[in-house]
Amino acid sequence: MSAPPLIVLTGAGISAESGLATFRDKNGLWERHRVEELATPEAFAADPVLVHRFYNARRAQLADPAIRPNAAHLALARLFAAWPAPALLVTQNVDDLHDRAMPGSPALLHLHGELGRIRCTACGRQQAWRGDLSVETPCPACAVTGRLRPDIVWFGETPRGLARIEQAMAGCRLFLSIGTSGQVYPAAGFVAALRGRAERIELNLEPSLGSHLFDESRQGPATALVPAMVEELLARWA
Protein backbone atom coordinates (compact mmCIF):
# COMPACT_ATOMS: atom_id res chain seq x y z
CA MET A 1 0.00 0.00 0.00
CA SER A 2 1.48 3.40 -0.95
CA ALA A 3 1.96 6.29 1.44
CA PRO A 4 -1.09 8.53 1.97
CA PRO A 5 -1.12 12.10 0.59
CA LEU A 6 -0.35 14.28 3.63
CA ILE A 7 -1.35 17.70 4.94
CA VAL A 8 0.29 19.11 8.07
CA LEU A 9 -1.19 22.22 9.73
CA THR A 10 0.91 24.09 12.28
CA GLY A 11 0.18 26.95 14.66
CA ALA A 12 2.01 29.09 17.19
CA GLY A 13 2.52 26.11 19.52
CA ILE A 14 5.19 24.59 17.25
CA SER A 15 7.28 27.76 17.66
CA ALA A 16 6.70 28.12 21.42
CA GLU A 17 9.78 26.09 22.41
CA SER A 18 11.88 28.24 20.10
CA GLY A 19 11.00 31.15 22.39
CA LEU A 20 8.20 32.80 20.36
CA ALA A 21 5.09 33.58 22.43
CA THR A 22 1.84 31.99 21.29
CA PHE A 23 -1.32 34.05 20.87
CA ARG A 24 -3.57 32.79 23.55
CA ASP A 25 -1.44 31.57 26.37
CA LYS A 26 -0.74 33.77 29.39
CA ASN A 27 1.72 36.05 27.54
CA GLY A 28 -0.54 36.40 24.47
CA LEU A 29 -0.63 40.16 25.23
CA TRP A 30 1.56 42.95 23.97
CA GLU A 31 1.71 46.35 25.69
CA ARG A 32 -1.71 45.56 27.26
CA HIS A 33 -3.23 44.77 23.83
CA ARG A 34 -4.56 41.39 22.74
CA VAL A 35 -3.01 40.35 19.44
CA GLU A 36 -6.45 40.04 17.87
CA GLU A 37 -6.97 43.77 18.52
CA LEU A 38 -3.75 44.72 16.72
CA ALA A 39 -3.84 42.21 13.82
CA THR A 40 -6.67 43.95 11.95
CA PRO A 41 -6.88 46.48 9.09
CA GLU A 42 -9.02 48.67 11.37
CA ALA A 43 -6.31 48.80 14.05
CA PHE A 44 -3.72 49.69 11.39
CA ALA A 45 -5.92 52.44 9.95
CA ALA A 46 -6.69 53.82 13.42
CA ASP A 47 -3.15 53.73 14.82
CA PRO A 48 -0.49 52.73 12.27
CA VAL A 49 2.29 53.82 14.62
CA LEU A 50 1.15 51.32 17.31
CA VAL A 51 0.69 48.47 14.81
CA HIS A 52 4.07 49.19 13.15
CA ARG A 53 5.64 49.13 16.64
CA PHE A 54 4.00 45.74 17.33
CA TYR A 55 5.33 44.18 14.14
CA ASN A 56 8.74 45.86 14.44
CA ALA A 57 9.12 44.25 17.87
CA ARG A 58 8.18 40.82 16.51
CA ARG A 59 10.45 41.22 13.45
CA ALA A 60 13.33 42.22 15.76
CA GLN A 61 12.67 39.17 17.96
CA LEU A 62 12.89 36.91 14.92
CA ALA A 63 16.34 38.42 14.12
CA ASP A 64 17.62 37.25 17.55
CA PRO A 65 20.15 34.40 16.89
CA ALA A 66 18.74 32.62 19.98
CA ILE A 67 15.42 32.15 18.14
CA ARG A 68 15.83 29.21 15.79
CA PRO A 69 13.98 26.16 14.50
CA ASN A 70 13.42 23.53 17.20
CA ALA A 71 13.33 19.72 17.06
CA ALA A 72 9.72 19.79 15.85
CA HIS A 73 10.49 22.03 12.86
CA LEU A 74 13.52 19.87 12.03
CA ALA A 75 11.54 16.62 12.31
CA LEU A 76 8.94 17.98 9.87
CA ALA A 77 11.78 18.89 7.49
CA ARG A 78 12.88 15.23 7.61
CA LEU A 79 9.30 14.08 7.04
CA PHE A 80 8.79 16.32 4.00
CA ALA A 81 12.17 15.40 2.52
CA ALA A 82 11.35 11.68 2.65
CA TRP A 83 7.57 11.49 2.20
CA PRO A 84 6.85 9.34 -0.92
CA ALA A 85 3.48 10.96 -1.73
CA PRO A 86 2.05 14.48 -2.16
CA ALA A 87 2.60 16.53 1.02
CA LEU A 88 1.66 20.11 1.98
CA LEU A 89 2.75 22.01 5.09
CA VAL A 90 0.22 24.77 5.88
CA THR A 91 1.45 27.05 8.64
CA GLN A 92 -0.63 29.71 10.36
CA ASN A 93 2.60 31.13 11.72
CA VAL A 94 4.14 34.27 10.29
CA ASP A 95 7.59 33.42 11.68
CA ASP A 96 10.24 31.92 9.37
CA LEU A 97 11.18 28.89 11.49
CA HIS A 98 9.73 26.35 9.04
CA ASP A 99 11.45 28.23 6.17
CA ARG A 100 14.77 27.98 7.98
CA ALA A 101 14.25 24.28 8.76
CA MET A 102 13.36 23.37 5.17
CA PRO A 103 14.84 26.16 3.00
CA GLY A 104 13.27 26.57 -0.43
CA SER A 105 10.72 23.79 0.11
CA PRO A 106 7.79 24.16 -2.31
CA ALA A 107 5.64 22.23 0.19
CA LEU A 108 5.50 25.14 2.68
CA LEU A 109 2.51 27.51 2.53
CA HIS A 110 2.12 30.54 4.82
CA LEU A 111 -1.66 30.77 5.24
CA HIS A 112 -1.42 34.03 7.18
CA GLY A 113 1.52 35.67 5.40
CA GLU A 114 5.05 36.29 6.63
CA LEU A 115 6.54 38.62 9.25
CA GLY A 116 9.69 39.01 7.14
CA ARG A 117 7.84 40.49 4.15
CA ILE A 118 6.08 43.80 3.50
CA ARG A 119 3.62 45.05 0.89
CA CYS A 120 3.11 48.55 -0.57
CA THR A 121 -0.58 49.48 -0.76
CA ALA A 122 0.27 52.15 -3.35
CA CYS A 123 2.06 50.03 -5.97
CA GLY A 124 1.35 46.50 -4.66
CA ARG A 125 5.05 45.50 -4.58
CA GLN A 126 5.80 42.75 -2.01
CA GLN A 127 9.32 42.19 -0.76
CA ALA A 128 11.46 40.79 2.03
CA TRP A 129 11.97 43.21 4.93
CA ARG A 130 13.95 42.51 8.10
CA GLY A 131 14.21 45.94 9.72
CA ASP A 132 11.72 48.37 11.21
CA LEU A 133 8.87 49.90 9.23
CA SER A 134 7.23 53.26 9.96
CA VAL A 135 4.72 55.61 8.44
CA GLU A 136 7.69 57.56 7.06
CA THR A 137 9.36 54.63 5.27
CA PRO A 138 9.31 55.21 1.48
CA CYS A 139 8.42 52.26 -0.73
CA PRO A 140 11.67 51.04 -2.38
CA ALA A 141 9.71 50.47 -5.60
CA CYS A 142 7.47 53.54 -5.97
CA ALA A 143 9.00 55.90 -3.34
CA VAL A 144 5.54 56.70 -1.91
CA THR A 145 5.68 57.00 1.90
CA GLY A 146 3.07 55.93 4.44
CA ARG A 147 1.70 53.09 2.31
CA LEU A 148 3.86 50.15 3.46
CA ARG A 149 2.33 47.41 5.67
CA PRO A 150 3.35 43.98 6.95
CA ASP A 151 2.61 41.30 4.30
CA ILE A 152 0.46 39.49 6.84
CA VAL A 153 -3.18 38.30 6.69
CA TRP A 154 -5.03 40.20 9.41
CA PHE A 155 -8.39 39.21 10.89
CA GLY A 156 -11.08 39.87 8.30
CA GLU A 157 -8.59 39.48 5.41
CA THR A 158 -8.48 36.55 3.00
CA PRO A 159 -5.91 33.86 3.86
CA ARG A 160 -3.29 32.83 1.25
CA GLY A 161 -3.22 29.68 -0.88
CA LEU A 162 -6.80 28.57 -0.30
CA ALA A 163 -7.20 27.11 -3.81
CA ARG A 164 -4.01 25.07 -3.39
CA ILE A 165 -5.18 23.89 0.03
CA GLU A 166 -8.60 22.90 -1.32
CA GLN A 167 -6.95 20.87 -4.08
CA ALA A 168 -4.64 19.13 -1.57
CA MET A 169 -7.57 18.39 0.74
CA ALA A 170 -9.42 16.60 -2.08
CA GLY A 171 -6.71 13.91 -2.12
CA CYS A 172 -5.56 14.09 1.49
CA ARG A 173 -5.63 10.78 3.42
CA LEU A 174 -3.51 11.80 6.44
CA PHE A 175 -3.88 15.12 8.35
CA LEU A 176 -1.63 16.22 11.22
CA SER A 177 -2.54 19.32 13.27
CA ILE A 178 0.33 20.58 15.43
CA GLY A 179 0.42 23.37 18.04
CA THR A 180 -2.82 25.15 17.27
CA SER A 181 -5.76 25.96 19.53
CA GLY A 182 -8.24 25.48 16.68
CA GLN A 183 -9.80 28.92 17.20
CA VAL A 184 -8.95 30.70 13.94
CA TYR A 185 -10.84 29.99 10.73
CA PRO A 186 -10.70 28.81 8.03
CA ALA A 187 -7.70 26.74 9.35
CA ALA A 188 -9.72 25.50 12.31
CA GLY A 189 -12.28 24.08 9.88
CA PHE A 190 -9.86 21.79 8.01
CA VAL A 191 -10.29 18.87 10.44
CA ALA A 192 -14.08 18.81 9.98
CA ALA A 193 -13.75 19.16 6.20
CA LEU A 194 -11.54 16.04 6.11
CA ARG A 195 -13.99 13.88 8.07
CA GLY A 196 -14.48 10.51 6.41
CA ARG A 197 -11.58 11.13 4.00
CA ALA A 198 -8.38 11.31 6.02
CA GLU A 199 -6.91 9.90 9.23
CA ARG A 200 -6.73 13.01 11.46
CA ILE A 201 -4.21 13.30 14.28
CA GLU A 202 -3.67 16.23 16.67
CA LEU A 203 -0.38 16.90 18.46
CA ASN A 204 -0.80 19.71 21.00
CA LEU A 205 0.24 20.71 24.51
CA GLU A 206 -3.38 20.46 25.60
CA PRO A 207 -6.62 19.39 23.88
CA SER A 208 -7.64 22.06 21.35
CA LEU A 209 -11.18 23.28 20.76
CA GLY A 210 -11.53 20.70 17.99
CA SER A 211 -9.84 17.76 19.74
CA HIS A 212 -13.05 15.72 19.70
CA LEU A 213 -13.01 15.86 15.88
CA PHE A 214 -9.68 14.05 15.59
CA ASP A 215 -9.21 10.28 15.25
CA GLU A 216 -6.28 10.59 17.65
CA SER A 217 -5.16 13.45 19.92
CA ARG A 218 -1.79 13.33 21.64
CA GLN A 219 -0.87 15.87 24.33
CA GLY A 220 2.64 17.08 25.06
CA PRO A 221 5.31 19.50 23.83
CA ALA A 222 5.87 19.58 20.08
CA THR A 223 9.59 18.91 20.45
CA ALA A 224 8.74 15.53 21.97
CA LEU A 225 5.59 14.55 20.05
CA VAL A 226 6.59 15.59 16.52
CA PRO A 227 9.94 13.74 16.22
CA ALA A 228 8.27 10.59 17.62
CA MET A 229 5.36 10.90 15.17
CA VAL A 230 7.75 11.48 12.25
CA GLU A 231 9.79 8.40 13.13
CA GLU A 232 6.58 6.33 13.31
CA LEU A 233 5.34 7.60 9.94
CA LEU A 234 8.68 7.16 8.14
CA ALA A 235 9.11 3.64 9.57
CA ARG A 236 5.67 2.75 8.26
CA TRP A 237 5.55 4.49 4.91
CA ALA A 238 8.98 5.55 3.64
Give which of 60, 31, 55 is closest to 149, Cα–Cα. Answer: 55
173 binds ligand BV8 (CB under 6 A): no
Number of H helices, E strands in the chain: 8, 11
Residues annotated as catalytic are 112
Per rule CB under 6 A, is residue 18 in the interface with ligand BV8?
no
Whether residue 208 contacts residue 187, with contact meaning beta carbons closer than 8 Å, is answered with no
DSSP string, 189-212: GHHHHTTTTSEEEEEESS--TTGG
Applying CB under 6 A, the site for ligand BV8 has a residue count of 39
Q: Does 152 bind ligand BV8 (CB under 6 A)?
A: yes
Residue pair 202/218 in contact by the 8 Å Cβ criterion: yes
- Any contact of residue 16 with ligand BV8 (CB under 6 A)? yes
Query: Are the beta carbons of 48 and 99 closer than 8 angstroms?
Result: no
Length of the chain in residues, anyone? 238
CB of 154 to ligand BV8, least distance (A): 6
Q: Please pick, from the candidates 181, 202, 227, 233, the single residue that binds ligand BV8 as defined by CB under 6 A.
A: 181
| Cβ at position 226, least distance to ligand BV8 in Å | 8
54 Rama sector, left if φ>0, alpha if ψ -120 to 50, beta otherwise: alpha
Are the beta carbons of 125 and 117 closer than 8 angstroms?
Answer: no
Assess 2 for contact with ligand BV8 (CB under 6 A): no
Judged by CB under 6 A, the chain residues 50 through 109 that form the site for ligand BV8 are 92-94
Q: Tell me which of 61, 105, 127, 183 binds ligand BV8, using CB under 6 A.
A: 183
Is the CB of 102 or the CB of 111 nearer to ligand BV8? 111
Binding flag, residue 158, ligand BV8 (CB under 6 A): yes
Residues near ligand BV8 (CB under 6 A) are 11-13, 16-17, 22-25, 28, 35-36, 39, 92-94, 112, 152-159, 162, 179-181, 183-186, 204-206, 208, 221-222
